[in-house]
Chains A and B, each alone.
Chain A
């Protein structure tokens, strides 16, 4: 059987339009990417796609305590259960709808699959000239066992508006769940958007997360990705800057252990002059975990005066962990300042010794240094509860009872 067959037989039950049929066929022709694809060189889906998944959603029940347990407790929550929107906040200037189909310019195999058979997700439109102080929390719950679900979301931010999101995908049973997720964020002129992704799903969850951000002039968009849970996580984060004075910010913290795998792929496409991008990804690897980072910065011809910075720092804390990193620069304009840095190493023995000689236990000393390492990226998150959560999860992962939020 395998996933491809599940998809085929599921698609036969759907009444697909000609266009969607075409997208599905191009996915079926290409199949899931393999390690022969340069973009998937270090990331193998081979084992995952031999398993059977149910693609149909049976909407289950979620109790209030489930929601409280898994949310950060923000007032404005957008809650999905097995793809069905069960709760959405009412805020002036904000229009929230359920799944509304839209076209995307991204048409790789995974995106084609998403475009063809997805019928879940949200569409959020923010009016012009509005600063939304409240943080919008988006929660996706899965109750169906062995489920392969697709989400397709669009956020459109009107001119001069500001908004912040926190998002989490949570599996409520112990079976393997597979999510193919896509969000497109359209930032109009002079907007300010922050999107926080908390990836702390159950230990056998699989996630392919795609985010495409299209920015117009004078806009600022930040996407922060915190990976603590899940078995297999692949993030594709793409920024496209169409207009001058755009700023794109990416912060990532991955803390992995056991057999966890996480792959962060980022791509910043500088198409206009006078723009900036900042990228900071920190990885901490314990147990037999494996990390991948691929960051590409593209500066198009005539996109002068670009400042693009990228850094990827990794701590390998166990001998069975590994990291493959590929920072890339493609520069076609001369008056730019672009740089990337990548480091892979361990905690400094001298620093550990210093702390231990002052009575701090080895675990605590390691945790403090690891936190110091990750904090540079965590500090860039502006939503306080998310920052706090990152600190707590870090302490939890490192098995220490420390409060970093001093």
Chain B
């Protein structure tokens, strides 16, 4: 490689590394914050502030006790300074807690934040037919389209409202897929979760619109402990979107969410995520720790499809999983994970086949640039009773620059002889000949890379709902423009 070319590559890489996080700003809203640290009292305060019934407090206290006995896991292929859990504020809610029916009642400051993010709620409301449950620092402040949904019998509200209004559903399903003791972060979340979304689709109802939540970490030093519970009753269908951006901060912020999906017989859930938390600056200072537990259970003939585009966070630890419990259940996982600068991602999925004739598909695309490390870690488990099951996994990695790393850790366990499992993985860089081919045809190097990356991720991006696909493509461009492999 000639020196000149090397220089221009370095320059291009430099450009990428220096492109600052677009969404880094803080909204100045008065917050109702409790002191730092975690103790039984804090758990009680959170529960009391949210005016929760006794069973919920008991649940939280049990989780807190379980958490105390657990150790933070370190098996993931990421290294970071473990957060001091006593240095985190566990509850922060915007002081005015308006129950809004229209967006006009929204705090103008907050509205401006969303406008700067390029998300016009009115527009979404009118044009995209999306009901948005905005979660800004843990408490939902706007809930649109609630009435439209209510007509169909769909319950879409914050989880704290659900605890008040639908305790029977929450009691039945909360922690039924992700047990409190499942892992360190799920126990922590169960103890201190401040808010999140709750959704119930009744029998045979097809949700007429995409449901979406918008997460934002706002208050400095506030951990976000979101809890999402989505129940699709027999024969129902729903598509749920979740997207996030976070403002620029120098200290690491902790995000430990738990998402539980329950797809009863013949139900169909599609859960899409675009994650763009603050990844830290070019030197790897700051950034969000994203330790998320996402899991769904599929009963007979049900289907759960996870789609994720992960571009943010300093450290990501996330494995959206499917338990295929019923016969003929289907699980899908489509992922694009982009890491740049000093980002680290350890992400993948678990497909646990228990029912007969269950099928799962895994498509994971990793892109690593700068000094980042991307990992795919996945489990495909076919139990003895899961006869005639089928799995197809493909995980590809694209490397940009010689300081980054890409790794795959697939676990495949098969316990019967009528199932078929295929797994394949490749790692390579964008070929110089590919770029040359584009250059020859008058496509600039930047555009060529965007073209190739887009093609590479197409299998996954195609799975996203329209409005997310556009945002995801933009994110990929921002994250990678100029990285010549």
Interface residues of A (CB under 8 A from B): 38, 42, 301-302, 304, 314, 316-319, 321-346
Contact = CB atoms under 8 A, between A and B. Distances in A.
Given A304-B402, A334-B399, A344-B421, A319 B428 contact: no
Contacts of A339: 424-427
A337 B412 contact: no
B404 A334 contact: yes
B408 interface: yes
Contact of A334 (B402, B413, B421): B402
A342 B427 contact: no
A337 B406 CA distance: 12
Given A337-B428, A339-B427, A344-B421, A330 B410 contact: no
A325 B379 CA distance: 10
Most chain B C-beta atoms within 10 Å of own C-beta, residue among A302, A334, A339, A342 = A334
A324 B418 contact: no
B401 interface: yes
A346 B417 contact: yes
B413 A322 contact: yes
Given A344-B420, A345-B421, A331 B399 contact: yes
12 contacts: A38-B75, A325-B411, A325-B412, A328-B409, A336-B428, A337-B427, A338-B426, A338-B427, A340-B408, A340-B423, A343-B421, A344-B421
Most chain B C-beta atoms within 10 Å of own C-beta, residue among A324, A331, A335 = A331
A340 B425 contact: yes
A334 B411 contact: no
B429 A334 contact: yes
Nearest to B417: A316
Contacts, number: 120
B473 to A, nearest CB: 23
B86 interface: no
Chain B interface bracket (under 10, 10 to 19, 20 to 34, 35 or more): 35 or more
B395 to A, nearest CB: 9
A321 B417 contact: yes
A326 B397 contact: no
A318 B417 contact: yes
A319 B413 contact: no
B452 to A, nearest CB: 14
Closest 8 CB pairs of A and B: A334-B399, A316-B417, A344-B421, A342-B423, A345-B420, A339-B426, A325-B412, A338-B427
Interface string B408-443: 111111111111111111111100000000000000
A343 B417 contact: no
A340 B428 CA distance: 12
A339 B395 CA distance: 10
Contact of B423 (A304, A316, A319, A341): A341
A325 B428 CA distance: 23
Given A343-B420, A344-B422, 15 more contacts: A317-B417, A319-B417, A321-B417, A322-B414, A324-B414, A325-B414, A331-B397, A339-B425, A340-B424, A341-B425, A342-B424, A343-B423, A345-B419, A345-B421, A345-B422
Contacts of A318: 417
A323 B400 CA distance: 35
B65 interface: no
B475 to A, nearest CB: 22
Contacts of B425: 327, 329, 339-341
Given A318-B417, A334-B429, A342-B421, A329 B408 contact: yes
B94 interface: no
A344 B407 contact: no
Given A338-B428, A339-B426, A330 B405 contact: yes
Nearest to A285: B417
A332 B420 contact: no
Contacts of A330: 405, 407
A331 B427 contact: yes
B485 A334 contact: yes
Contacts of B429: 334-336
Nearest to A330: B407
Nearest to B399: A334
A342 B413 CA distance: 11
Interface in B159-215: none
A329 B421 contact: no
Interface of B: 75, 384, 397, 399-429, 485
Given A316-B416, A346-B417, A331 B411 contact: no
Most chain A C-beta atoms within 10 Å of own C-beta, residue among B417, B420, B428 = B417
A351 B403 CA distance: 48
A344 B416 contact: no
A324 B411 contact: yes
B427 A336 contact: yes
Contacts of A334: 399-402, 404, 429, 485
Nearest to A317: B417
A318 B384 CA distance: 12
Contacts of A301: 402-403
A339 B427 CA distance: 6
Contacts of A319: 384, 416-418
A340 B378 CA distance: 14
A316 B397 CA distance: 30
Nearest to B432: A335
A337 B404 CA distance: 15
A344 B411 CA distance: 12
A327 B427 contact: no
Given A334-B404, A344-B420, A345-B420, A326 B410 contact: yes
A336 B406 CA distance: 11
A337 B401 CA distance: 14
A318 B416 CA distance: 8
B153 to A, nearest CB: 43
Contacts of A321: 417
Given A316-B414, A342-B410, A327 B402 contact: no
B406 to A, nearest CB: 5
Nearest to B407: A330
A259 B397 CA distance: 38
A342 B422 contact: yes
A322 B400 contact: no
B420 A331 contact: no
B415 A329 contact: no
Contacts of B423: 325, 327, 340-343
A271 to B, nearest CB: 15
A315 to B, nearest CB: 9
A328 B424 CA distance: 11
Nearest to A298: B407
A321 B416 CA distance: 7
A328 B412 CA distance: 11
Contacts of A326: 409-412
Contacts of A344: 412, 414, 419-422
Contacts of A342: 410, 412, 421-424
Contacts of A304: 402
Contacts of A328: 407-410
Given A336-B428, A339-B427, A331 B406 contact: yes
Most chain B C-beta atoms within 10 Å of own C-beta, residue among A42, A301, A317, A340 = A340
A301 B403 CA distance: 7
A329 B415 CA distance: 24
B377 to A, nearest CB: 10
Nearest to B373: A332
B483 to A, nearest CB: 10
B484 to A, nearest CB: 10
A337 B427 CA distance: 6
Contacts of B397: 329, 331
